[in-house]
Amino acid sequence: MKKPDRLLFSAKRGVVRIVPLILFGLAWHVVCSAGLVNRDFLPAPAAVAAALADLFKGGEIARNLTITLFRATVGLVLGAICGIWIGVMMARSRRFREYVTPIVGGTYSLPKSALIPLFALWFGIGNITSIAAVFLACLLPMIVNTYHGVVTTPKVLVWSAEALGTGERELWPRIFIRNALPDIFTGLRIALGFSFVLAISAEMIASTNGIGKLIFMYGENGTYDYMFAAIVCIVIVAFFADRVLILLTRRLLVWHESAVAELDARRP
Amino acid sequence: MNPLEARTDALAWRSAVSILLFIALWEVAARVHVAPAILLPPFSIVAEQLWRSILDGTLAADLSLSLARAICGLVLATAGGVILGLLMARNRMVDWLVDPLVALGFPAPKIAFIPIFILWFGIESLSKILLVMFACIFPVIIGTYSAARAVSRQFIWSALSLGSSRSSVFLHVILPACYPRIFTTFRIAVPVGLITTFTAEMVAGGGGMGATLIYSQRFFESPTVFAYIVVMLAIGLMFDAAMRRFQSRFLRWAES
Amino acid sequence: MLDLARPKIEIRGVSKTYASEHGPVLALRGTDLTVNEGEFVSIVGPSGCGKSTLLYVVGGFLAADGDVVIDGTPIKGPGTDRGVVFQEYALFPWLTVRDNIGYGLERQGMAAAEREKIVGRLVKVIGLAGFENRYPRELSGGMKQRVAIARTLACDPAILLLDEPFGALDAQTREIMQDELLRIWLETRKTVLMVTHDVTEAVYLSNRICVMSARPGQIIEEFSVTLDRGRSREELVVSEQFNSIRNRVWLSVRRQALVAGGRNEEA
């Protein structure tokens, strides 16, 4: 498809996909104006939009969003780096794997947000608690996916590389890790989701700032239109973060046949 | 004993050893005061607290409340998710209507909606159950949808040529073919359900493991904090083991 | 100058046991085989007889009991002296056609300009000019296999190990690829050891065919094939000479397949 045709096609598809959301918004508006629901429980879309605009003007959203995103990102990056390293080590060394697997398996079952009170106990209320929670939550999917990606490298690829003169050390960066990249990016997408969830959880439970705290605070104060506004904001940010990651992955993994299909999990 | 069984046994042994080692280290580190007792109570004290909670029934009450909420939410999420996923796979109109909502909802941090659910449904169990359903329904929808779409045409044609009616094909071919994928997404949803329940309880209170956990933290009762975390860990492990059992019993036929 | 005094490949008493969930499985039992320089030897036999396993042992990918000696030296693992082509193509999916073919050369430290020359020539030889920047996922099965062969040839190995190289291709593509391979071999006269389940293919390409018994595998029969490969495929395949050899080989394999099948039924 030619470039301009493709853009038009995507634009059309984008518009078509938004229509149900617009319908949903209209339904929301109708429900509110018709007074079907108590105004307190469900602010009208107009009110929420106004609140959102106000928050942007006042800078509260920007400030708190930055804090939340900072915590989520730092935790995610640290978690990803450590997770990939551990996953590779587990694939590389049987001994390492045997010692680490029980720990990994164990923490899989532990709801990481349960550790937030513990971290609050240890590190107080602030960045470290949030980052630690995000870090731990992101660690697991990265470890598991990296390991899976390395371990499912087809034997014939490894053998071909060896027959073409690849030394044992070089197999790792050249073959195993390259083969694992699609899985690593799948893990990254999962970890991205977790990073938002845990950052916000930590803020709601044990913090004095951040968007989670903001939402919670507005709820307590009863200013529900601001509360809804903040929630809408974070949902949109999370959505776009996810999209950006998908686009990035498609770019980097241009060679992978199902990279597109896997990540856009909706399409079979 | 065949080699596979022998290996699983060895792994179990090694895990047991790791755990015992971990506990021993914990006890020693705490007794030696590597950190103040408030931050790191010895394992023995934590175990004692745990035992006390079991005896006076608080643990049982909290645990059953949390689990009940999580399970109800999960059941609703699975039922709703499977139905929606199948509907979307079969009907283009439904697909078109619901797809953007799913696409928007899937990456969204559902936790952020806790205050809305509290607003609408109070701080007791109802809000938690519905929040769990909200949090867990998206992966189930997506998983069911793609499983239903992916059912090979050859399966369906074979069934039709063997004399099945269309609805029978749906019930006896498409649906069972989706079971493994649905179960896999259910397995993913379970920890999400548990996390959401505990987190909602930590944020909003209203009884349950999470509420007690956060109260203990606020009052610096660290043995309880540790004890409850250990219990949550154990519950998570049990659920996972149970599901793995189930999967190997009833879904052996599907290629993992 | 062919050195007929010492064989190129000597396989002596190679045995290989696998672990499986039902206990140890003996895949090869005391297999012996020699391949002389410049020969094209095919190994045929019933499914599961271990012919691929033998090839992997020769390639140095699997450890086994017994000796594999190449040019008088026992092998110690995989090496660039033995190029491999697998049935599943085994192209590196993250590299373009050009980078796949040039992979071995890059490993050797060859400069980019020189690499380009060799890669460019090979791309033309396999008839994929214009596809240098494509990724494997954009290629058809036949194209992928050509790239795989080119990749192996780029390093100019003395020995080619082929594991059912055309097994994944459709019948027409298979015939085209066989002719390609034959042409390349006639030009370069490399030593080739090929595993195939297709008896006709073996007769068409090789000058010696070894029949392997049912598992545990051993070479139980050898056929020498002398055909005038200057003739076209059409002439060759319908000729009496071709078919008499083919029938004899086929019968031998068939007998082994029945043994294997009978054993399966008993078990």
Own/partner long-range contacts of A93-100 (Cβ < 8 Å, ≥24 apart):
A98/B11, A98/B14, A99/B14, A99/B18
- Bridge pairing between strands C82-85 and C208-212: unpaired
Q: What is the pLDDT of residue B75?
A: 94
> Do A133 and A76 share a domain, yes or no?
yes
The phi-psi region of residue C38 (left if phi > 0; otherwise alpha if psi is between -120 and 50; otherwise beta) is left
Give tens-digit pLDDT for A244-266. Answer: 999 999 999 999 876 444 444 44
Q: What is the pLDDT of residue C133?
A: 93
Residue C19's closest chain B neighbor by CA?
A: B3
Share of chain A above pLDDT 90, in %: 49
CA separation for the pair B129, C21 (Å, rounded): 44
In one-letter notation, the amino acid at residue C6 is: R
Put simply, the chain A residues between 211 and 230 with a CB less than 8 A from any chain B CB are 211-212, 215-216, 218-219, 224, 227-228
CA distance C16 to chain B (A): 19
Show residues of chain A in contact with C137, CB under 8 Å. Answer: 255-257
Q: What is the pLDDT of residue B2?
A: 61
SS3 content of chain C, % helix, strand, coil (to 5): 40, 25, 35
Say what the ipTM of the complex is. Answer: 0.87
Q: Which residues contact A105 (CB under 8 A, 6 or more apart)?
A: B15
Q: What is the pLDDT of residue A21?
A: 85
Q: What is the pLDDT of residue C93?
A: 93
Confidence of residue A89 (pLDDT cuts 50, 70, 90): very high
**Does the reported pTM lie above 0.95?**
no
- With beta carbons less than 8 A apart as the criterion, state whether C81 and C70 touch: yes
CA separation for the pair B117, A219 (Å, rounded): 11
Beta-carbon separation of B4 and C19 below 8 A: no
Give tens-digit pLDDT for A205-235. Answer: 888 889 999 999 988 888 888 899 999 999 9
Give tens-digit pLDDT for C200-228. Answer: 999 999 999 999 988 888 888 999 998 88
Q: Is the pLDDT of residue C243 over 50?
A: yes
CA separation for the pair B58, B47 (Å, rounded): 15
| Residue whose C-alpha is closest to residue A214's, from A66, A37, A16 | A66
Q: How many domains, in total, are found in chain A?
A: 2
Confidence of residue A9 (pLDDT cuts 50, 70, 90): confident
| Residue whose C-alpha is closest to residue B220's, from A164, A130, A117 | A117
Residue A268 domain-assigned (yes or no): no
Show residues of chain C in contact with B2, CB under 8 Å. Answer: 21-23
> Do A130 and A197 share a domain, yes or no?
yes
- With beta carbons less than 8 A apart as the criterion, state whether B31 and C49 touch: no
Give tens-digit pLDDT for A17-35. Answer: 788 888 888 888 888 888 7
Query: For residue B199, what are its two tokens?
Result: 């987190």
> Do A218 and A187 share a domain, yes or no?
yes
Best of A118, A207, A264 to substitute, by most chain B Cβ atoms within 10 angstroms, is A118
- The gap from C-alpha B240 to its chain's centroid, in whole angstroms, comes to 8
Q: Work out the mean pLDDT of chain C and round it to a whole number.
A: 88
Burial class (CB in 10 A: 0-12, 13-18, 19+), A160: buried
CA distance C18 to chain A (A): 16
- With beta carbons less than 8 A apart as the criterion, state whether C208 and C224 touch: yes
- With beta carbons less than 8 A apart as the criterion, state whether C147 and C126 touch: yes
Beta-carbon separation of C94 and A178 below 8 A: yes
Tell me the domains of chain B and their CATH numbers. Answer: 57-250 (1.10.3720.10)
Q: What is the pLDDT of residue B3?
A: 60
Q: Is the pLDDT of residue A2 over 70?
A: no
Question: E strand or H helix at C36, and its extent?
Answer: none
The position carrying tokens 């699609």 is A182
Give tens-digit pLDDT for C145-170. Answer: 999 999 999 999 999 999 999 988 88
Share of chain C above pLDDT 90, in %: 46
Q: What is the pLDDT of residue A261?
A: 44
Exposure string (b/e) for B116-150, b if CB count within 10 Å is 16 or more?
A: bbbbeeebbbebbbbbbbbbbbbbbbbbbbbbbbe
Show residues of chain B in contact with C23, CB under 8 Å. Answer: 2-3
Q: What is the pLDDT of residue A97?
A: 86
> Do A92 and A215 share a domain, yes or no?
yes
Q: Is the pLDDT of residue A149 over 90?
A: yes
The position carrying tokens 């083969």 is A179
Show residues of chain A in contact with B38, CB under 8 Å. Answer: 121
Residue A233 domain-assigned (yes or no): yes
Q: What is the domain partition of chain C in residue ranges?
A: 1-81+159-267, 86-156
- Does residue B122 belong to the interface with chain A, where contact is any CB pair within 8 Å? no
CA distance C27 to chain B (A): 19
SS3 content of chain B, % helix, strand, coil (to 5): 85, 0, 15
> Do A146 and A252 share a domain, yes or no?
yes
Show residues of chain A in contact with B220, CB under 8 Å. Answer: 121
- With beta carbons less than 8 A apart as the criterion, state whether A164 and C155 touch: yes
> Do A212 and A153 share a domain, yes or no?
yes
Query: For residue B2, what are its two tokens?
Result: 């065949």
Q: Is the pLDDT of residue C18 over 50?
A: yes
Q: Which chains touch B (3 or more CB pairs under 8 A)?
A: A, C
- Check whether domain C1-81+159-267 has CATH 3.40.50.300, yes or no: yes
- Does residue A35 belong to the interface with chain B, where contact is any CB pair within 8 Å? no
- Does residue C76 belong to the interface with chain A, where contact is any CB pair within 8 Å? no
- Does residue C19 belong to the interface with chain B, where contact is any CB pair within 8 Å? yes
Peptide bond into C216 cis (omega under 30): yes
Q: How many CB pairs under 8 A join A and B?
A: 160
Best of C82, C94, C97 to substitute, by most chain A Cβ atoms within 10 angstroms, is C94
Q: Give the residue numbers spanning the domain of A10.
A: 1-40
- Which residues of chain B fall short of a pLDDT of 70? 1-8, 152-154, 164, 169, 252-256
CA distance C35 to chain A (A): 19
- Does residue A252 belong to the interface with chain C, where contact is any CB pair within 8 Å? no
The phi-psi region of residue C130 (left if phi > 0; otherwise alpha if psi is between -120 and 50; otherwise beta) is left
- Does residue B3 belong to the interface with chain C, where contact is any CB pair within 8 Å? yes
> Do A62 and A195 share a domain, yes or no?
yes
Provide DSSP, A222-248: T-HHHHHHHHHHHHHHHHHHHHHHHHH
> Do A25 and A117 share a domain, yes or no?
no
- Does residue A156 belong to the interface with chain C, where contact is any CB pair within 8 Å? yes
Q: What is the pLDDT of residue C105?
A: 92
Residue C91's closest chain A neighbor by CA?
A: A157
Show residues of chain A in contact with B217, CB under 8 Å. Answer: 117-118, 120-121, 206
Residue A224 domain-assigned (yes or no): yes
- Does residue A258 belong to the interface with chain C, where contact is any CB pair within 8 Å? no
In one-letter notation, the amino acid at residue A236 is: I
Candidates A157, A164, A254; nearest CB to C80: A164
Name residue C11's beta-bridge partners.
C33, C68
- Does residue C160 belong to the interface with chain A, where contact is any CB pair within 8 Å? no
* B140: DSSP letter: H
Sign of CA dihedral C113, C114, C120, C126: negative
| Residue whose C-alpha is closest to residue A160's, from C106, B73, C83, B126 | C83
